[in-house]
Structure 1
Amino acid sequence: MVVKKLAAEKVPVVAMARDPGSEAAAELRGMDYVEVVKADLRDRESLTEAVRGCRAVICTAAVKPMRFGKVSDLWSDPFSDPGHPANLNLRGIQNLISACEETSPPVQKLVRVTGLSVGLSPWSPISILFSLVNSFANRWNREGELAIRASSMDYTVIRPAGIKDCPKASETGDKLLLATDAPEWEGQRPPATTGISREDVADLVCASVDDKRLSKATLRVSRMARGTARNFYRDDARGGYTWDAIIPRVLPDRPGSLAPADYDTPAAAGLVLLSFVLGCVYRLLSSLLSLLARRVLALL
């Protein structure tokens, strides 16, 4: 979607693909202003060649297929598994930053798309679930964002909530919501939503390349359905029907607002709690089945 939008604006694009022969890469190769090159976030040299001559890099990469968590993730080295999120969300981002900084002239801007849950506390039930099921994806995305902030590059990090293939907010009458990591948003977050259009996210990604108002900013973005009787006409004054209406409110990240966090302890606690709950359920079912068996035998 991002490549299509940039190409439609006649912006030259270098699209990186691990498999240039794939169907998706072939589709991109058929577009005007698009060049497809072979590159992998886990291969720093390939990245250096791919970004040479680019003024901005957009990274929307995610681990696919999803790697399900293992109990051994609590103590094993995540970088020993090529499919682990740590190798893409952290080491891959570190490789990309190095490639961008070392090429001549250096890349001016990095736009990274992660997810809204990255900003949640490690003790949040959602974070614990992601740690146990999705191999600590939030942790490694957070570490990757920290690496971006620590670099010398200008950046915009976009954390969308539940990307969906649906019409844009401006077409449905819904509102776009945007919160930053600035002090004015301390403790605040966008209200619960039903997700956000992939096209709306792509529009914001493209705007982030050149819009100086989005410099060194982390954007938490989502969408809110318009007020109706079904949702008690709920509304949010912070929202807007287009990004242009709410981008002026963006403020840059404050130093130290994002810090490393301990995800292991909450995950271990969640695993213990899950084991306890499953044990209780097992004992309850065993008791019910035993009672049922006795009743059946009594009737015979």
Structure 2
Amino acid sequence: MGKRTMTDLLLHFSVLMMMASVASALSSMPKKVAVIGATGRLGRQTVQKLLSKEIPVKILVRHDISAVKVPENLENANTSAEVAAYLASLPSVELVKGDVTNKDSVAELVKDTTAVLAVYGANRKSKLTDALPWSKCEDDPSHSKQVNYEGVRNIVTACQMPGCTCKRIVRITGKGEDPWNPFSILINLLGSMAKAWNNEGEALLRDCKDVDYTIIRPGVMGRPDCPDGKVLALADNGGDLKVSAIPYSTVADLCIECLDYPNTARATLCAMNVPPGEGEETYGPLLAKVQPDSRIFPKVFDEHRRAVRAGAVGISAILCAGIFAIVSALRACLSFILPAHL
């Protein structure tokens, strides 16, 4: 009996050692991360930071760079095509020609990666003709519906394909769920319903059960004069933080670092800067405390539409009132000046 027990123990120990060896081998396998939006301000920072960690990168680029001269550095890159050419020239960067609105190119991008960082956004401006009843503006490939919603659908679908190793999506969106917030109305009104379609894209990620997501809602990106030190703050479960400026490089760090924290899977994070001394110096301590989403996020696309219509009516009324006031003032001036010269 004792010998059998000892044999069983040795067998179990051998199995555990084999499992540990396999796990170690898998964890030491080189990662490969896909980046969508690589030529943008955030995307180029993200690619460079991944490379600094010796992580191979695949980038999705819609430009034909075959005839583009490669600039010496990013500072000398004046166009998106030149940025793409420079990034593609770097070691460990693989370029896939295509667009997030094209299913086949997205599938080619993610098929042999471990994660995809979707750091892109729609930049189409609204047109007056969009308001016409017969307008089909949403069919425009640059429309936020195609980019922020259908594009996310393409990413999810690609990750669900048999044999695809990419099971983690990090998506940059934006703060704010209230359709009636003035900033939401303004963004939707001027940016082809960008806020509304971003929220719909988030919903696609949450509804997908076999691919993990981390949704990041950063502050206002781009200002270079942001304070550093203990200023980093996160709110999970789509929580609220006061809007602040935050550098592109900081958001890029967050996109990459969250991949090392399994607890950030299926989480929605608000990322802002807080006054010096009130936050953390690095994201590590904050990410370690993140909890997955536990609340029901509202699906309020129709409410976004109503808010935009109301906002458009309000702005039109203000403009009409302003024009009427100017015309009235001019008429009053003319009635005062003209008789004096008769």
Q: Please state which band the TM-score falls in when normalised by the shorter chain.
A: 0.7 to 0.9
Give the one of 318, 326, 329 matched to 1:288. 329
Cα distance change on mapping 1:73 and 1:250 into 2, 3 Å: farther
Match status 1:272 vs 2:272: no
Which residue pairs with 1:155 in the alignment?
A: 213
- Separation in 1 of the partners of 2:181 and 2:96? 40
Identity level (%): 29
Give the one of 215, 230, 233 matched to 2:265. 215
Deviation at 1:74, TM superposition (A): 7.4
Extract unaligned runs of 5+ from structure 1.
227-234
**TM-score when scaled to structure 2?**
0.76
- Separation in 2 of the partners of 1:162 and 1:51? 29
Q: 1:15-54 counterparts in 2 under 5 A?
A: 15-21=59-65, 22-54=81-113
Match status 1:178 vs 2:219: no
Rg larger in structure? 2
Cα distance change on mapping 1:73 and 1:249 into 2, 3 Å: farther
- Separation in 1 of the partners of 2:330 and 2:230? 50
SS in 2 for 1:249: coil
Q: 1:1-300 counterparts in 2 under 5 A?
A: 1-21=45-65, 22-64=81-123, 66-70=124-128, 72-73=130-131, 75=133, 76-116=135-175, 119-151=176-208, 152-166=210-224, 169=227, 172-173=228-229, 175-181=231-237, 185=239, 189-193=240-244, 195-226=245-276, 237=278, 239-261=279-301, 262-300=303-341
Q: How many residues align?
A: 279
Output the amino acid matched with 1:250. V
Q: Alpha-carbon deviations, 1:127-154, whole Å to 9, x = none?
A: 1111211110001100111001111211
Extract unaligned runs of 5+ from structure 2.
1-44, 66-80
CA RMSD of aligned residues (A): 2.0
Output the amino acid matched with 1:149. R
SS in 1 for 2:327: helix
Query: Contact 1:181–1:254 (CA<8 Å) still a contact in 2?
Result: yes
More relative contact order, 1 or 2 (CA 8 Å, 6+ apart): 1
Cα distance change on mapping 1:36 and 1:181 into 2, 3 Å: same
**TM-score when scaled to structure 1?**
0.86
Query: Contact 1:14–1:36 (CA<8 Å) still a contact in 2?
Result: yes
Query: Contact 2:220–2:246 (CA<8 Å) still a contact in 1?
Result: yes
Query: Contact 1:175–1:224 (CA<8 Å) still a contact in 2?
Result: yes
